[in-house]
Homo-oligomer: A and B are copies of this chain.
Amino acid sequence: MREVFQQELREVQDRLVEIAGLVERSIELATRAFNESNVTLAEQVIVGDHAIDQAALALDELAIRILARQQPVARDLRIVVSALRVSASLERMGDLAEHIAQLARYRFPEKVVPASLRDTFYELGQLDVAIARKLTRLLKTEDLELAEEIRNDDDRIDELHVGVFDAVLGETWKGAAVDTVDATLASRYHERFADHAVGIAKNIQYLATGDFSKVEA
């Protein structure tokens, strides 16, 4: 029984890594679509989000089956409950990548943000992609240094996010209302994407250390 359980836990972990890989691919394409106004890539992301939703749903069903059949307790139980939470966050990260792609598609053939903010959004995109990559590796290896790196990347994203508002609300802002709307939404999507990754990283730190205080920080 114990061996079957360990095997099922590995299956859960493998599937989480797989979903994180899909999210990683999605944010890569979405940020490229966004920065390069590439509508083909944007549509790929939008269509592809369905696969992430389905994979998350299938994982949830697996986790519930494991709870029913294996009746885990203590740390094992927390691993399975965590998997449900991680899956929900990954699913949401996929949605946010899709939103970024949708902005690119709406404005096509125009670019989404004016020239003055393009460097900022390029960096935001790069950071989201880096975070997604680290998250996949974190889920695979449970190397907690990656969790710390994700938090640091997120701090930089928060700085950039504040910078976008400073730019838009500053006296030199020449953007039209559509630029203001796009910058506001796009910045928020990039920031929320990273927030979810930080939430997942905290979950994994907690499981590894048993220190619940990190989850709430």
A53: which B residues are within 8 A, CB to CB? 216
Q: How far is the CA of A177 from the CA of B67 in the complex (A)?
A: 51
Chain B residues, Cβ within 8 Å of A77: 64, 67-68
Question: In the assembled complex, which residues on chain B have CB atoms less than 8 Å from the CB atom of A168?
Answer: 177, 181
Q: Tell me if A81 and B57 are in contact (CB < 8 A).
A: no
A188: min CB distance to chain B, Å? 7
Give chain B residues whose Cβ lies under 8 Å from the Cβ of A175. Answer: 177
Most chain B CB inside 10 Å of its own CB: which residue of A84, A178, A180: A180
Is A74 an interface residue, CB under 8 A from the partner? yes
Quote the shortest CB–CB distance from A174 to chain B (angstroms).
10
Which residues of B have CB within 8 Å of A181?
Answer: 165, 168-169, 180, 184
Chain A residues within 8 Å of B, Cβ to Cβ: 53, 57, 64, 67-68, 71, 73-74, 77-78, 81, 84-85, 88, 165, 168-169, 173, 175, 177-178, 180-181, 184-185, 188, 216
